[in-house]
C-alpha cells in the first residue's frame, strides 16, 4: 500500500506538465456555462494544492495556471452571453431550466459588478453570472477587472488548504505511513459529510416533488385513512409538508437498512467478512498517537457530553414552552436504549476486543445514543435556521456520529455492522419522533440563528473539561506489555536474532536498518550521546514547523520527527550536523520488548537506527528531508558495524543480521 502511494507521487512528479495542464483545464471548464456544472474544479484545485504540499508541483506555477484558467473560463462565458444574448435561453439546459438564468440575473441585479467576484465562490452561480453579465451588456473593461480579482482570490482560497493538507500528509508520512492513512480517513469523513449534505440539499426539492407526485397518485387510489393522511401531508397549506415527506422517507430507508444488516448478521454473510476486514485494517494502522486522537474524538459521544446536550435542549424547549417535544426526545432516548438492550440480549454477539467478552454489541447502544442526541438536535436546529446553516448543522452532526462510531470500531468495542445497525435503528427512531413533533406542531418554529453556536460551545466546553480533568487514554488492551526478561548471554547468543534487522512501518515495509542493540537506561544513553557531540532532536513546535517553509534553513534547524517501528514511536531521538548545512545524522531508539537482567535487576534493551538525512527543496514552500539510505550505511559504519566509541558505549559483540551490521552495546559500569 505504501509502495503504491510513493509510486503514485513519483509518477505525478515526473509529469508535472500534464498536472499543470489539468489544473488549467479544471479551472477553465468549471467557469464555462453549462459545462461548469459537471466539472469538480474546486476538488481539482485542492488536489493540486495537496500535490504541491508534498513537493510534486511548484506552488507558483499552480497559481499561474489556475488563475489563467479561471480568467479564461469566465471570459469565455462572458463572450457567450454577449454574443448570443436572447438565443441562450433557447439552448439546453436553460430551455428546460430557465430558473438557472433567472437566479443568475437576480443575483447580478442585486450585487452589480461585485457579483462576478462573489459568484466565483458559489457553485450553482459560478458559471451563470458571467453569462448574465454578457447578456446584460456589462462593460468588458469592468468585467475583466472583476474577473481578474475573483480569480486572484479564488485560486489561493482553494489551493492553499490543499497545500496544508499535502504538507501534513508529507510530515505524517515521514513519521509513519499509518498516520497518512488515519489522516486521509478523517479528512475523507469530513469532506464526504459536507459534500453529501450539499448534494442532498441541492436535490431535495426535486426528489420531494417526485415523491410527492407518486404519493399523491397513490393517495387518489386509496381513499382510506392512510390516503387521507397522505393527502394531508401533501397539502401545500400544511407547514413543513416537505420536511414531513423527507422525514418519512428517512424512516423507510433507515428501517430497510437496519433489517438488511440484521439479516446479514443473523446469516453471517457477507457483512461478517467485511467486519473482519475493517477491524483488521484499523488494527494494522494503529499508533499511540492515533489512539490518543480517537480516544479524544470519542468524548464527543461520551455520557457526559450527551447528558450536557440533553440538559441544554431541555432548558431550550422549556424556554420555548414545547413540553411535548421534551417528552418525545426523552422517550426516544429511553425506549431506544431498552429496545437495543433487548436486541443485544437476544443476539448475544460478542465484540472483537477479547477483554470485553461480557458485553453484547448488536446493535451498538453507544452509536444509537449518539445518533438520537445529535440527530434530534440537528432536527431542532435545522427548523430554526436558514438553508445553508441547516446544511452545516446536518453535516456536523453526521461527522460527529461517524467519528464516534469509527472510534468504537477502531478500539474493538463493536463491529462495523453493529455501528451501522445501531445508527440505522436510531435514525429511524429519530425520524419517527421528528414526524410526531411536526404533526403535533405543524407551524414553523421561531428563528433561532444563535442556537447552533450555543450548542457548539456546550460541546466544546464539555469535551475540553473531560480532556482537561482526565486526558484521553486508549483502552487497557492498547497498553504496552511488560518486557521479556533474558540474561546477557542469552541476548548475545540468540535473542538478538529475534529482533528485526530493519525498522518496519506498516505491513512489513522495510525502512532504515536497525544497526544498534543497546542495554542501558534512557538517562545513561542521553548522557553518553551528549558527551560524544550528539544533540537531542529539535522538538516539534510552531517555530520549528514554520522553519519547514523557510527559504534558507540548515538541516539541523528542522524538527526531528519521531518515527514508528511496528506502531511504537521512537523513545529517544538525537542528531548531529553532516558535512554540509543540508545534511544531518539522526539516531532513533525504540523499546525492543526485552530487558537484560542478572537476577537482582533488569535493564531495558533498546534497538536503534542511524539515518543520514539530506535536505531537498523540490518545490517552494516546503523543505523536505529525505533519508539517504546509501550514505546511512557507509558514512559512520565500517564493514563490521558501528563502533561503540562514537556512542560512548562498550561493544559486547558485532553480528550480521541478514546483511545488516549490528553492534551489541552496553553502557560501561561507572
Q: Which of 224-233, 264-273, 287-296, 634-643 has the highest mean pLDDT?
A: 287-296
Joined together, the cell numbers standing for residue 544 give 520549528
Digit-coded pLDDT (tens) for 460-517: 999 988 888 776 665 544 445 688 999 999 999 999 999 988 888 765 567 888 999 9
**With 80 as the cut, is the pLDDT of residue 16 above it?**
no
**With 50 as the cut, is the pLDDT of residue 640 above it?**
no
**With 70 as the cut, is the pLDDT of residue 29 above it?**
yes
Joined together, the cell numbers standing for residue 405 give 462510531
Digit-coded pLDDT (tens) for 96-116: 666 667 777 888 888 888 888
Of the pLDDT bands very low, low, confident and very high (cuts 50, 70, 90), residue 174 is low
Instruction: Provide, rounded to the nearest whole percent, the portion of the chain with pLDDT above 90.
Output: 10
Joined together, the cell numbers standing for residue 159 give 489551493
DSSP classification of residue 270: S
Query: What is the average pLDDT across 577-592?
Result: 88
CA distance 589 to 512: 12
Digit-coded pLDDT (tens) for 437-464: 776 666 777 788 888 899 999 999 999 8
pLDDT value of position 607:
94
CA distance 46 to 64: 15
Residue 469: exposed, middle, or buried by beta-carbon count in 10 A (0-12, 13-18, 19+)? Answer: exposed
Share the mean pLDDT of the chain. Answer: 78
Query: What is the average pLDDT across 243-265?
Result: 75
0.85 surpassed by pTM: no
The C-alpha cell 482553494 sits at 158
pLDDT value of position 289:
76
CA separation (Å) from 154 to 24, 158, 310, 469?
13, 6, 41, 43
* CB atoms closer than 10 angstroms to residue 498: 12
Of the pLDDT bands very low, low, confident and very high (cuts 50, 70, 90), residue 5 is very low
Specify the 3-state DSSP secondary structure of 316: helix
Digit-coded pLDDT (tens) for 520-578: 998 899 998 988 888 887 665 556 666 666 667 788 877 787 788 877 888 889 988 88
Q: Buried b vs exposed e over 610-626: b needs ≥16 C-beta within 10 Å?
A: bbbbbbeeebeebbbbe
pLDDT value of position 629:
65
More confident residue, 380 or 632: 380
Of the pLDDT bands very low, low, confident and very high (cuts 50, 70, 90), residue 21 is confident
Q: Which of 32-36, 551-555, 607-611 has the highest mean pLDDT?
A: 607-611
pLDDT value of position 243:
58
Of the pLDDT bands very low, low, confident and very high (cuts 50, 70, 90), residue 152 is very high
pLDDT value of position 636:
42
Of the pLDDT bands very low, low, confident and very high (cuts 50, 70, 90), residue 248 is low
pLDDT value of position 638:
44
Helices (H) and strands (E) in the chain, counts: 24, 12
**With 90 as the cut, is the pLDDT of residue 376 above it?**
no
Q: At what angle do helices 16-30 and 59-84 cross, to 10 degrees?
A: 30
Q: Which of 567, 556, 580, 578 is nearest to 632 (CA)?
A: 578
pLDDT value of position 130:
86
Instruction: Provide, rounded to the nearest whole percent, the portion of the chain with pLDDT above 70.
Output: 73
Digit-coded pLDDT (tens) for 311-362: 898 888 888 887 777 777 777 778 777 888 888 888 778 788 755 555 677 8
- Parallel/antiparallel/unpaired status of strands 660-666 and 510-519: parallel
Amino acid at each position: 500500500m505504501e509502495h503504491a502511494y510513493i509510486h503514485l507521487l513519483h509518477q505525478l512528479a515526473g509529469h508535472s506538465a500534464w498536472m499543470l495542464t489539468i489544473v488549467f483545464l479544471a479551472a477553465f471548464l468549471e467557469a464555462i456555462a453549462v459545462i461548469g456544472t459537471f466539472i469538480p474544479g474546486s476538488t481539482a484545485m485542492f488536489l493540486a494544492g495537496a500535490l504541491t504540499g508534498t513537493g510534486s508541483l511548484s506552488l507558483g506555477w499552480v497559481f499561474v495556471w489556475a488563475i489563467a484558467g479561471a480568467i479564461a473560463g469566465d471570459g469565455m462565458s462572458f463572450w457567450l452571453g454577449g454574443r448570443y444574448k436572447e438565443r441562450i435561453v433557447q439552448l439546453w439546459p436553460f430551455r428546460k431550466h430557465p430558473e438557472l438564468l433567472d437566479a443568475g440575473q437576480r443575483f447580478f441585479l442585486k450585487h452589480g459588478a461585485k457579483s462576478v467576484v462573489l459568484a466565483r465562490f458559489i457553485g450553482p452561480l459560478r458559471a451563470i453570472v458571467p453569462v448574465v453579465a454578457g447578456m446584460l451588456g456589462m462593460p468588458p473593461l469592468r468585467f475583466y477587472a472583476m474577473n481578474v480579482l475573483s480569480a486572484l482570490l479564488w485560486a489561493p482560497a482553494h489551493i492553499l488548504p490543499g497545500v496544508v493538507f499535502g504538507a501534513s500528509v508529507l510530515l505524517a508520512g515521514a513519521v509513519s505511513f499509518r498516520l497518512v492513512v488515519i489522516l486521509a480517513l478523517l479528512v475523507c469523513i469530513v469532506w464526504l459529510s459536507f459534500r453529501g449534505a450539499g448534494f442532498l440539499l441541492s436535490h431535495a426539492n426535486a426528489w420531494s416533488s417526485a415523491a410527492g407526485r407518486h404519493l399523491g397518485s397513490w393517495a387518489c387510489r386509496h381513499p382510506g385513512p392512510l390516503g387521507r393522511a397522505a393527502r394531508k401531508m401533501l397539502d401545500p397549506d400544511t407547514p413543513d409538508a416537505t420536511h414531513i415527506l423527507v422525514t418519512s422517507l428517512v424512516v423507510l430507508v433507515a428501517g430497510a437498512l437496519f433489517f438488511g444488516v440484521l439479516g446479514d448478521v443473523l446469516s453471517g454473510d457477507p457483512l461478517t467478512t467485511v467486519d473482519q476486514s475493517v477491524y483488521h485494517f484499523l488494527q494494522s494502522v494503529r499508533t499511540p498517537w492515533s489512539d490518543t486522537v480517537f480516544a479524544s474524538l470519542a468524548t464527543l459521544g461520551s455520557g457526559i457530553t450527551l447528558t450536557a446536550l440533553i440538559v441544554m435542549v431541555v432548558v431550550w424547549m422549556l424556554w420555548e414552552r414545547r413540553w411535548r417535544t421534551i417528552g418525545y426526545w426523552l422517550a426516544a432516548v429511553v425506549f431506544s436504549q431498552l429496545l437495543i438492550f433487548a436486541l443485544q440480549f437476544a443476539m448475544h454477539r460478542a465484540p472483537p476486543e477479547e477483554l470485553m467478552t461480557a458485553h453484547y454489541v448488536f446493535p451498538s447502544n453507544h452509536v444509537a445514543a449518539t445518533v438520537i442526541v445529535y440527530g434530534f438536535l440537528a432536527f431542532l436546529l435545522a427548523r430554526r435556521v436558514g438553508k445553508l446553516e441547516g446544511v452545516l448543522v446536518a453535516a456536523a452532526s453526521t461527522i460527529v456520529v461517524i467519528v464516534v462510531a469509527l472510534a468504537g470500531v477502531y478500539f474493538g468495542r463493536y463491529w462495523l455492522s453493529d455501528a451501522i445497525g445501531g445508527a440505522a435503528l436510531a435514525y429511524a427512531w429519530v425520524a419517527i419522533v421528528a414526524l410526531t413533533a411536526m404533526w403535533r406542531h405543524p407551524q414553523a418554529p421561531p428563528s433561532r440563528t444563535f442556537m447552533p453556536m450555543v450548542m457548539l460551545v456546550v460541546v466544546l466546553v464539555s469535551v475540553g473539561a473531560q480532556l482537561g480533568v482526565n486526558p484521553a487514554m486508549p483502552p487497557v488492551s492498547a497498553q504496552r506489555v511488560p518486557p521479556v526478561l533474558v540474561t546477557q548471554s542469552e541476548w548475545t547468543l540468540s535473542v538478538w536474532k529475534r529482533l528485526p534487522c530493519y525498522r518496519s512501518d506498516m505491513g512489513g515495509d522495510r525502512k532504515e536498518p536497525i544497526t544498534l542493540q543497546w542495554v542501558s537506561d534512557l538517562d545513561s544513553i542521553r548522557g553518553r550521546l551528549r558527551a560524544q557531540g550528539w544533540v537531542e532532536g529539535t522538538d516539534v513546535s510552531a517555530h520549528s514547523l514554520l522553519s519547514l517553509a523557510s527559504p534558507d534553513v540548515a538541516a539541523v534547524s528542522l524538527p526531528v520527527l519521531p518515527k514508528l517501528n511496528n506502531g511504537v514511536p521512537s523513545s529517544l531521538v538525537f542528531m548531529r550536523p553532516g558535512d554540509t548545512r543540508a545534511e544531518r545524522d539522526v539516531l532513533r531508539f525504540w523499546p525492543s520488548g526485552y530487558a537484560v537482567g542478572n537476577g537482582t535487576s533488569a535493564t531495558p534493551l533498546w534497538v536503534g537506527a542511524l539515518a543520514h538525512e539530506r535536505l531537498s527543496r523540490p518545490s517552494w514552500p516546503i523543505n523536505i528531508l529525505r533519508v539517504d539510505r546509501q550514505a546511512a550505511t557507509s558514512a559512520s559504519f565500517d564493514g563490521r558495524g558501528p563502533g561503540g566509541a562514537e556512542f560512548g558505549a562498550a561493544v559486547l559483540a558485532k553480528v550480521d543480521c541478514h546483511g545488516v551490521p549490528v553492534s551489541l552495546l552496553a553502557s560501561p559500569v561507572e
